[in-house]
């Protein structure tokens, strides 16, 4: 067998040789200087931040210590180790109130996120008359404290016979809407409109564009919005207190409130229940940080 | 496959006409290029045709259907975006299959269609990758593939090559032309690059300030530019322009005086120049028509002496900036001419290669023989007539 070398091979070989990268290494042994200058301000800054951090950590430390302390008080002491605070906190409807909180928060989050996605998308991509003023109104709404409107809402709910958990979830969902609309609006505005136009040319309808293009690309934003809705309902005290009438539908914060009697305060139960009540929030924030580490998923889709 | 007709199409953004009175017919199977500087209305025209914008006035027809109010999805078109607009969350395969899927087309045929398109574009090995893992050229192919899989009656391309490097751009240019010859689907292509326009288009539509200035084959535009803008926009390096004075000798022969010399013009030039109103036309001369005297043909009866102020050597040829009096002219010089900067150089040109324009209106005043000029003149008049419905003429008149 003979190996025929064609003109092309020769030309290609020469091309390859000409275009191979040069073998030059950067100079070695250069050390970064200036690294130890201006130590004073850095130390002062870190000390201030450390003090602030400790101030935030004290209540958390109390919760952890108190929940394991058989003789818990309002102070932080070396605990008399026990797990009975946990069982005591979950007895007498405590466990059920956790379930109620979950139902309330998931429903509220679902309601607010679905509505906020549609509202934000319309505000970003559609021609909405008075769009600017409308968005400002939404922004102001997010600043109104729930306590101001809770009394009229209570009156409305009484007349409708709605003093129970699901209507309360609806109201809580509405209270987180303004913030979620703004959050999602800012997210959707970052999406290149080309992608949606390309889909529209392919005869995709608005629902298909939302489901196949917009939502997958803005997943971190939608997740953040849903988590905000969940946490907003999960931590709400006054709304379930006023709007939920049956004691069997009481949520977590109401249960904690119940641990504070007129005669004595069950500090150990409060700490144990608070610790358990914080677990879902820790999990959600952990999950959220993973979404955000994934970064913006737009790379490679569009240029320019 | 389809023909396209723009009928008096205007698009106003506020008071600004982005497209001003566009009238254009595109034949079935034609490759038409919209070209012009940025902000000239070429992309807006394309988006109007795609249905991504609604015209303020006028109507757009595809075949015999008035599509002016039809949403983009119902026009049976495919568009390649400048940004490629690939879905970053989907693999190449799903990007290609996106259109047929949302249109609920036959699922059984889909894999074979995807593979067919992928093989035409050389994407078979990339089907499982996401856009972020592709090079610019590969992304461009995926965007093209997404258009091909639709088998539309119209292809729209919005500066599809502008994000590629120079070598790849030339390669993709050839590939696009080859694809068009293969499929002969009517294609409307937008670019700001006149080389791209001239090499790819069956016909080229030159736009500026929202107006269609001229439409014609690349040869027509080069040979008979309708006005000074088209003349200087088409061809690289751009055409030299200078003012001149028309003179008539006692023996009846006509000449122009400029650049310190008097150049007798040809009979057909003289006939048209004398009909015109102006005595001081703007004269154009392409760098490729301005020759080094040592190698000039016998027809080059006009001789110029100048000083080379700058020279760009490209290997096969050089481009020199030559100062003649107070005018700087570009000239294309052969390799054999070894002139350096600040050295004198003798140049020559054939008076028949001159272009003449009205100094006030910028319109061409001499029709050059050879190209199909008549059609141009008509289009010229249509394109520049501004209808009374114009709410604002500020932009148009600039």
The confidence band for A159, taking pLDDT boundaries of 50, 70 and 90, is very high
In whole angstroms, how large is the CA radius of gyration of chain B? 24
Torsion of CA A224, A229, A233, A235, to 10 degrees: 30
Residue of A nearest to B75 (CA): A201
End-to-end CA distance of chain A: 53
Reply yes or no on whether the pLDDT at B395 is more than 50: no
Reply yes or no on whether the pLDDT at A174 is more than 50: yes
**Residue whose C-alpha is closest to residue B41's, from B14, B71, B72, B13:** B13
Q: What is the pLDDT of residue A2?
A: 47
Q: What is the pLDDT of residues B368-377, one digit of tens each?
A: 886 444 444 4
* Nearest Cβ partner for B87 among A201, A208, A213: A213
Q: What is the pLDDT of residue B271?
A: 85
Domains of chain A, each with CATH number or no CATH: 29-82 (no CATH), 84-300 (1.10.3720.10)
* Nearest Cβ partner for B89 among A200, A297, A303: A297
pLDDT, average across residues B371-392: 43
Rounded Cα gap, residues B154 and B78, in angstroms: 6
In this structure, the number of other CB atoms found within 10 A of the CB of residue B303 comes to 13
The answer to whether the Cβ–Cβ distance between B85 and A194 falls below 8 Å is: yes
Q: What is the pLDDT of residues B253-279, one digit of tens each?
A: 888 888 888 888 888 888 888 887 788
Q: What is the pLDDT of residues B55-74, one digit of tens each?
A: 999 999 999 899 999 999 99
DSSP letter for B14, please.
Answer: T
More confident residue, B396 or A129: A129
pLDDT > 70: percent of chain B: 92
Residue in B88, B100, B134, B148 to test binding to A, most A beta-carbons within 10 Å: B88
Q: What is the pLDDT of residue B378?
A: 44
Reply yes or no on whether the pLDDT at A33 is more than 60: no
Using DSSP's 3-state secondary structure scheme, residue B283 falls into strand
pLDDT > 70: percent of chain A: 83
Question: Are the C-beta atoms of B86 and B140 separated by less than 8 Å?
Answer: no
The answer to whether the Cβ–Cβ distance between B131 and A301 falls below 8 Å is: yes
Which of A19-23, A72-76, B27-31, B269-273 shows the lowest mean pLDDT across its residues?
Answer: A19-23
Q: What is the pLDDT of residue B325?
A: 85
pLDDT, average across residues B183-187: 91
More confident residue, A15 or B76: B76
Which residues on chain A place their C-beta less than 8 Å from a C-beta of chain B?
192, 194-195, 197-205, 208, 212-213, 216-217, 297-304
Q: What is the pLDDT of residue A37?
A: 65
CA angle (B15 as vertex; B11, B16 as ends), nearest 5: 55
The confidence band for B337, taking pLDDT boundaries of 50, 70 and 90, is confident
pLDDT, average across residues A94-112: 95
- Work out the angle between the directed axes of helices B92-102 and B110-121 (0-180°, nearest 10): 130
* Nearest Cβ partner for B83 among A192, A213, A297: A192
Sequence-distant (≥ 6) Cβ neighbours of residue A45 within 8 angstroms: none
Reply yes or no on whether the pLDDT at A261 is more than 70: yes
pLDDT, average across residues A68-83: 85
pLDDT, average across residues B205-225: 93
Reply yes or no on whether the pLDDT at B249 is more than 80: no
The confidence band for A73, taking pLDDT boundaries of 50, 70 and 90, is confident
The answer to whether the Cβ–Cβ distance between B85 and A302 falls below 8 Å is: yes
pLDDT, average across residues B103-112: 91
Residue in B71, B83, B161, B163 to test binding to A, most A beta-carbons within 10 Å: B83
Residues of A in contact with B130 (CB under 8 A): 300
Query: Which residues numbered 194-223 in B keep a CB inside 8 Å of some CB on A?
Result: none
In this structure, the number of other CB atoms found within 10 A of the CB of residue B298 comes to 7
The confidence band for A20, taking pLDDT boundaries of 50, 70 and 90, is low
The confidence band for A15, taking pLDDT boundaries of 50, 70 and 90, is low
pLDDT, average across residues B127-140: 91
End-to-end CA distance of chain B: 37
The answer to whether the Cβ–Cβ distance between B83 and A201 falls below 8 Å is: no
The confidence band for A78, taking pLDDT boundaries of 50, 70 and 90, is confident
Q: What is the pLDDT of residue B373?
A: 42
For chain B, what is the mean pLDDT? 87
The confidence band for B385, taking pLDDT boundaries of 50, 70 and 90, is very low
Q: What is the pLDDT of residue A5?
A: 57
Rounded Cα gap, residues B383 and B371, in angstroms: 20
Reply yes or no on whether the pLDDT at A298 is more than 60: no
Reply yes or no on whether the pLDDT at A246 is more than 50: yes
Reply yes or no on whether the pLDDT at B389 is more than 90: no
Residues of B in contact with A194 (CB under 8 A): 81, 83, 85
Reply yes or no on whether the pLDDT at A170 is more than 90: yes
pLDDT, average across residues A277-302: 72
Size of interface A-B (CB pairs under 8 A): 95
pLDDT, average across residues B196-207: 94
Q: What is the pLDDT of residue A14?
A: 57
How many angstroms separate the Cα of B45 from the Cα of each of B56, B69, B82?
Answer: 12, 15, 15
CB neighbour burial string for A15-54, b if at least 16 within 10 angstroms, e if fewer: eeeeeeeeeeeeeeeeeeeeeeeeeeeeeeeeeeeeeeee
Rounded Cα gap, residues A228 and A210, in angstroms: 21
> Containing H/E element for B331?
strand B327-334
The answer to whether the Cβ–Cβ distance between A203 and B86 falls below 8 Å is: no
Reply yes or no on whether the pLDDT at A56 is more than 80: yes
Which of A171-180, B13-22, B161-170 shows the lowest mean pLDDT across its residues?
Answer: B161-170
Q: What is the pLDDT of residue A19?
A: 57
């Amino acid at each position: 067998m003979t190996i025929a070398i064609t003109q092309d091979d020769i030309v290609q070989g020469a091309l390859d040789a000409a275009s191979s990268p040069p073998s030059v290494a950067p100079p070695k042994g250069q050390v970064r200087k200036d690294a130890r200058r201006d130590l004073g301000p850095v130390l002062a800054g870190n000390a201030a931040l450390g003090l602030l951090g400790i101030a935030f950590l004290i209540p958390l430390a109390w919760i952890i210590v108190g929940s394991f302390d058989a003789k818990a008080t309002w102070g932080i002491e070396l605990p008399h180790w026990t797990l009975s605070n946990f069982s005591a906190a979950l007895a007498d409807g405590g466990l059920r109130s956790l379930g109620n909180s979950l139902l309330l928060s998931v429903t509220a989050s679902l309601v607010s996120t679905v509505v906020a996605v549609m509202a934000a998308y319309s505000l970003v991509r559609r021609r909405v008359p008075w769009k600017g003023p409308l968005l400002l109104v939404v922004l102001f709404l997010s600043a109104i404290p729930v306590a101001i409107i809770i009394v009229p809402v209570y009156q409305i709910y009484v007349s409708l016979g709605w003093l129970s958990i699901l209507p309360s979830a609806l109201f809580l969902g509405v209270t987180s809407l303004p913030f979620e609309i703004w959050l999602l609006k800012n997210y959707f505005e970052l999406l290149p409109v080309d992608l949606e136009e390309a889909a529209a040319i392919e005869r995709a309808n608005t629902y298909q564009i939302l489901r196949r293009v917009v939502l997958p690309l803005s997943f971190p934003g939608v997740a953040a919005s849903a988590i905000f809705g969940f946490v907003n309902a999960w931590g709400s005290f006054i709304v379930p207190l006023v709007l939920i009438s049956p004691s069997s539908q009481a949520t977590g914060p109401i249960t904690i409130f119940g641990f504070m009697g007129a005669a004595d305060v069950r500090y150990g139960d409060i700490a144990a229940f608070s610790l358990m009540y914080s677990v879902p929030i820790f999990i959600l924030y952990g999950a959220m940080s993973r979404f955000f580490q994934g970064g913006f998923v737009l790379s490679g889709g569009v240029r320019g | 496959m389809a023909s396209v007709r723009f009928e008096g199409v205007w698009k106003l953004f506020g008071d600004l006409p982005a497209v001003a009175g566009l009238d254009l017919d595109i034949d079935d199977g034609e490759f038409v290029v919209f070209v012009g500087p940025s902000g000239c209305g070429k992309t807006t025209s394309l988006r109007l045709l795609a249905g991504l914008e609604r015209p303020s006035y006028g109507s757009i027809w595809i075949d015999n259907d008035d599509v002016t109010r039809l949403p983009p999805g119902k026009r049976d078109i495919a568009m390649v975006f400048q940004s490629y607009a690939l879905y970053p969350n989907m693999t190449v395969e799903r990007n290609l299959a996106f259109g047929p899927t949302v249109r609920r087309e036959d699922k059984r045929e889909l894999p074979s269609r995807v593979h067919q398109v992928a093989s035409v574009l050389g994407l078979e090995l990339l089907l499982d990758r996401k856009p972020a893992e592709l090079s610019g050229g590969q992304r461009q192919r995926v965007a093209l593939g997404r258009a091909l899989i639709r088998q539309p009656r119209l292809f729209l391309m919005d500066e599809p090559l502008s994000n590629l490097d120079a070598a790849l751009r030339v390669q993709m240019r050839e590939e696009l032309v080859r694809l068009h010859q293969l499929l002969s689907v009517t294609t409307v292509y937008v670019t700001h690059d006149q080389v791209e326009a001239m090499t790819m288009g069956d016909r080229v539509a030159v736009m500026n300030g929202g107006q269609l200035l001229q439409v014609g084959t690349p040869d027509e535009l080069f040979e008979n530019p309708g006005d000074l803008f088209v003349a200087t926009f088409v061809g690289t390096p751009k055409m030299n322009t200078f003012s001149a004075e028309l003179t008539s000798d006692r023996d009846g022969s006509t000449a122009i005086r400029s650049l310190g010399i008097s150049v007798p013009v040809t009979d057909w030039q003289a006939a048209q120049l004398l009909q015109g109103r102006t005595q001081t036309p703007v004269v154009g001369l392409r760098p490729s028509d301005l020759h080094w005297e040592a190698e000039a043909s016998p027809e080059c009866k006009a001789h110029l002496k100048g000083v080379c102020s700058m020279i760009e050597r490209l290997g096969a040829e050089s481009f020199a900036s030559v100062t003649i009096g107070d005018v700087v002219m570009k000239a294309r010089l052969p390799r054999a001419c070894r002139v350096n900067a600040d050295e004198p150089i003798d140049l020559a040109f054939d008076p028949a290669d001159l272009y003449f324009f009205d100094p006030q209106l910028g319109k061409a005043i001499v029709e050059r023989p050879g190209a199909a000029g008549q059609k141009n003149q008509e289009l010229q008049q249509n394109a520049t007539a501004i209808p009374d419905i114009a709410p604002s003429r500020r932009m148009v008149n600039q």
